[in-house]
A and B are shown apart, each in its own frame.
Chain A
């Protein structure tokens, strides 16, 4: 199964992600989830970013919080709403929100 997971909080949800099995796992950072892509808590990037190479962050939610794409971790692809729709329909059979 190709599964895209929306993460909308900054709190770590790595335990849940570790249990999920997917042929292709995508993590889509939206709302306060975008902090995973820009913050270094205690000097370390979020563990979430090591869970899959398929990482996305919504540009509108970054801009709302005062961040520009150049502040985003290089592993994360910044997409706008239109790009996000493409990701959902083209890359993943299922999407979930945790």
Chain B
């Protein structure tokens, strides 16, 4: 089977519904899936934020303090910690006036991976390369 690429595309803002959060937890679950695979088989997820999906990615979210729920920021940091590719659409960040400097990283957790702000064309490429494309 080799490597199976999956693209998780988040197109809705976080928090009001569970949909966009599920993309992150599903993408994170690839680590669990690998336990069930044969030698030589891998799953490579890519988590992409486009459109209004780029909302809710800011640093300093206080979802746990306010509502007792895990923040999107925390989920993204966990994604980076397990070396998941996280792409954020450059054009959509610019459209909403969100500076790249407000995006979180997981350096404090020891992660080397960082969010990559990329043109939509690169997200399109990730979708084309993926065997499974899932929209959230």
- Give how many A residues have a beta carbon under 8 Å from the other chain's beta carbons: 19
Any A CB within 8 A of the CB of B13? yes
A64 to B65, CA, bound (A): 8
Residue with the highest number of chain A CB atoms closer than 10 Å, among B62, B71, B102: B62
Residues of B within 8 A of A64 (CB): 15, 61-63, 66-67, 71
Residues of B within 8 A of A9 (CB): 16
Residues of B within 8 A of A61 (CB): 66
Any A CB within 8 A of the CB of B52? yes
Any B CB within 8 A of the CB of A92? no
Q: Assuming A32-B55, A64-B62, A65-B58, is B16 touching A42 (CB within 8 A)?
A: no
Which A residues lie at the B interface, using CB under 8 A?
Answer: 8-10, 31-32, 35, 39-43, 60-61, 63-68
Structural contact, A41 and B58, CB atoms closer than 8 A: no
A43 to B102, CA, bound (A): 17
10 tightest CB-CB pairs across the interface, nearest first? A66-B58, A40-B97, A63-B62, A66-B61, A66-B60, A60-B66, A64-B63, A32-B16, A31-B16, A64-B66
Residues of B within 8 A of A60 (CB): 66-67
CB-defined A-B contacts under 8 Å, sample of 29: A8-B16, A9-B16, A10-B55, A31-B15, A32-B13, A32-B55, A32-B56, A35-B13, A39-B55, A39-B96, A40-B96, A40-B97, A41-B97, A42-B95, A42-B97, A60-B66, A60-B67, A63-B61, A63-B66, A64-B62, A64-B67, A65-B14, A65-B15, A65-B55, A65-B56, A65-B61, A66-B59, A66-B62, A68-B60
Main secondary structure, interface of B, reads loop
Any A CB within 8 A of the CB of B73? yes
Quote the shortest CB–CB distance from A84 to chain B (angstroms): 14
What's the interface size class on B, roughly? 20 to 34
A43 to B127, CA, bound (A): 29
A87 to B95, CA, bound (A): 33
Q: Assuming A64-B66, A64-B67, is B96 touching A41 (CB within 8 A)?
A: yes
Residues of A within 8 A of B62 (CB): 63-64, 66
Residues of B within 8 A of A31 (CB): 15-16
Structural contact, A35 and B67, CB atoms closer than 8 A: no
